[in-house]
Amino acid sequence: MPKYIIVGNSAGGVAAVEAIRSGDKEGDLALVSDEQYPAYSRPLISKYLAGETTEQAMAYRAPDFYEKHAVKAYLGKKAVRLDTEGRKLTLEGGPTLSWEKLLLATGGTPIIPKMEGLDKDGVYTFTTLDDAKKLEPVLTPGGTVVVIGGGLIGMSVTEALAKRGMKVIVVELLDRVLAALLDVDASRAVETVLRRKGVEVLTGQTVQTILGRADNPKQVAGVVFKDGREAQCCAVIVAVGVSPRLELVKGSGIATNRGIVVDRHMATNVPGVYACGDVAEAYDFTTGGNRVIPVWPGAYLGGRVAGYNMAGGSVEYPGGAPMNAFNYFGMAIVCAGLVSPPTGNEYEVLVSGSAEEGSYKKVVLRDGKVAGMLFFGDIERSGILFGLMRDGLQLTSLGKEVLSPRLTLLPDNVRVDKVEKPGWRLVASRP
């Protein structure tokens, strides 16, 4: 009987394996994933589609990772039933595994809006390596692909398709792309660059119907937008976003809200059961409450905390934040926290440069502490600022220097305690 079972084989699951083994070298450990591949870096899926990396180069750990850490890996096996009272986990087609400690790192599932024609061949999602592989046969240079969603997933697949010589139409329901992450100025600048690269951007728009070919109604041939206009295409990619994957915990007694609710130890309300990553509703240090934050560094850190505690430790999760660093079409962007605060005296907004001109910095302060940040183009020192934001430091004395913080300007006690001491990292990020 495995002492530990981890369901999920991405950043959180890998981190938990390493943390468990740092505290328990002998306990039986099993890992379950419905994907057939060893752990790979999901942020590189778009690079794979663009032809800029290989499946082998996407490996998140060395080929001997599971053997080295004495992990029984059930790859390509879906967990279908969870019995928390009997402490059993049943896999599709068997076996049924018993456990003492369980980590749920099941990630997210693509959000699919309602529209006619979703069952046609040529409709795809874009969250896994298999999704990228399925797209390969339709990538004929000069062909048109409709991407539904102007968020991070939509932008990453759009860039990959453009690099493959495809014409792309991005359809976004809101009035601008990346609206959940950027302010209006930065969003408009992104749209300008997209159009310069030949991408058609339709905001305030949705796809109502996916059309089939006259000679083969089951094959995608185009779309009808909500305003009645039509566009021909060879494929439709639904990239609206993901929602926590909760089907395994339904009826299990594990408390859920938007995601699986966990405490600062990444523990659920059921003793011995933990959760991390995109499925977990965990502590957000920018708000002081719990929320789902689907970012790679947070998944890794949450997995490490869960693993340590599963192996008998007592470690608190310091909290995550909606922090993203990305580079699309040559635009380097780092953003975190609240970048578009409501009007009022509660917030102070500092800005330098112009997003339209390609270099833009914005910091939102609340009570002298960083509540949000946006670096566009020039992202130097964004890591320093994120570290100061994470630690909730009072920065009023820095004035506009907050926009480009230098370590020499920090108060002596902060520089020594937080920067010069070994082991303190500003941004815990892994590729």
Q: Give the closest residue to 150 by CA, choosing from 169, 134, 167, 135.
A: 169
Q: Residue 395 is part of a domain; what is its CATH number?
A: 3.30.390.30
For the CA atoms of 13, 19, 24, 27, what is the dihedral angle to 10 degrees? Answer: 0
- Average pLDDT (280-291) is 93
Q: Is residue 427 part of a domain?
A: no
Whether 336 contacts 386, CB under 8 Å:
yes
On the question of pLDDT at 201 being above 90, the answer is yes
What does the pLDDT read at residue 430?
32
Q: Is residue 338 part of a domain?
A: yes
What does the pLDDT read at residue 9?
98
What does the pLDDT read at residue 429?
32
On the question of pLDDT at 415 being above 50, the answer is no
**Up-side HSE of residue 170: CA atoms within 13 Å toward CB?**
33
Whether 291 and 334 map to the same domain: the answer is no
Which of 240, 264, 295 marks a domain boundary? 240
Q: Residue 8 is part of a domain; what is its CATH number?
A: 3.50.50.60
Q: Is residue 130 part of a domain?
A: yes
Q: Report residue 426's pLDDT band, with 50, 70 and 90 as the boundaries.
A: very low
- H-assigned helices in 201-295: none
Query: What SS3 state is found at 359?
Result: strand
Neighbour-count burial for 233-269, b at 16+ CB within 10 Å, e otherwise? bbbbbbbbbbbbbbebbeebebebeebbbbeebbbbe
Q: Give the separation between CA 336 and CA 323, rounded to whole angstroms.
A: 4
Q: Report residue 37's pLDDT band, with 50, 70 and 90 as the boundaries.
A: very high
What does the pLDDT read at residue 418?
45
What does the pLDDT read at residue 424?
30
Residue count of the chain, please give it: 431
Whether 292 and 212 map to the same domain: the answer is no
Whether 191 contacts 328, CB under 8 Å:
no
On the question of pLDDT at 419 being above 60, the answer is no
On the question of pLDDT at 22 being above 60, the answer is yes
What does the pLDDT read at residue 398?
78
The domain of 206 spans 123-240
Q: Is residue 431 part of a domain?
A: no
- Average pLDDT (198-209) is 97
Q: Report residue 421's pLDDT band, with 50, 70 and 90 as the boundaries.
A: very low
Q: Is residue 381 part of a domain?
A: yes
Q: Report residue 409's pLDDT band, with 50, 70 and 90 as the boundaries.
A: low
Q: Is residue 323 part of a domain?
A: no
Predicted confidence (pLDDT) per residue in 289-324, tens digit: 999 999 999 999 999 999 999 999 999 999 998 899
Domain count, the chain: 3
Which of 240, 267, 290 marks a domain boundary? 240
Predicted confidence (pLDDT) per residue in 46-88, tens digit: 999 999 999 999 999 999 999 999 999 999 999 999 999 999 9
Residue with tokens 């997933």: 153
pTM assigned to the model: 0.91
- Average pLDDT (12-17) is 98
Sign of CA dihedral 192, 195, 197, 201: positive
Q: Is residue 320 part of a domain?
A: no
Neighbour-count burial for 283-298, b at 16+ CB within 10 Å, e otherwise? bbbbeeebbbbbbbbb
As a whole number, the mean pLDDT across the chain is 92
Which of 207, 240, 273 marks a domain boundary? 240
Share of the chain above pLDDT 90, in %: 83
Lowest mean pLDDT among 83-97, 365-379, 408-422: 408-422
Whether 248 contacts 104, CB under 8 Å:
yes
Whether 208 and 272 map to the same domain: the answer is no
What does the pLDDT read at residue 343?
83
What does the pLDDT read at residue 412?
53
What does the pLDDT read at residue 423?
34
What does the pLDDT read at residue 427?
34
Q: Is residue 193 part of a domain?
A: yes
On the question of pLDDT at 43 being above 50, the answer is yes
Asked if omega into 217 is within 30° of 0 (cis), the reply is no
Count other C-beta atoms under 10 Å from residue 418's C-beta.
18
Q: CA geometry: angle at 35 spanning 46 and 246, to 5°?
A: 95
What does the pLDDT read at residue 313?
95
What does the pLDDT read at residue 428?
32
What does the pLDDT read at residue 395?
83
What does the pLDDT read at residue 380?
87
Q: Are strands 280-284 and 323-328 parallel, antiparallel or unpaired?
A: unpaired
- Average pLDDT (193-203) is 97
DSSP state of 401: G
What does the pLDDT read at residue 422?
34
419 exposed, middle or buried (CB, 10 Å; 0-12, 13-18, 19+)? middle
Q: What single string gives the DSSP state of each residue in 190-223?
A: HHHHHHHTT-EEEES--EEEEEEPSS-TTBEEEE
Whether 373 and 270 map to the same domain: the answer is no
Q: Give the separation between CA 47 and CA 160, rounded to whole angstroms.
A: 7
On the question of pLDDT at 171 being above 80, the answer is yes
Whether 232 and 256 map to the same domain: the answer is no
- Average pLDDT (364-377) is 92
Whether 275 and 359 map to the same domain: the answer is no
Q: Give the separation between CA 215 and CA 213, rounded to whole angstroms.
A: 5
Q: What single string gives the DSSP state of each residue in 51-101?
A: TSS-TGGGBSS-TTHHHHTTEEEEET--EEEEETTTTEEEETTS-EEE-SE
On the question of pLDDT at 126 being above 90, the answer is yes
**Up-side HSE of residue 56: CA atoms within 13 Å toward CB?**
0
- Average pLDDT (129-135) is 97
For the CA atoms of 260, 127, 45, 198, what is the dihedral angle to 10 degrees? Answer: -130
- Average pLDDT (198-207) is 97
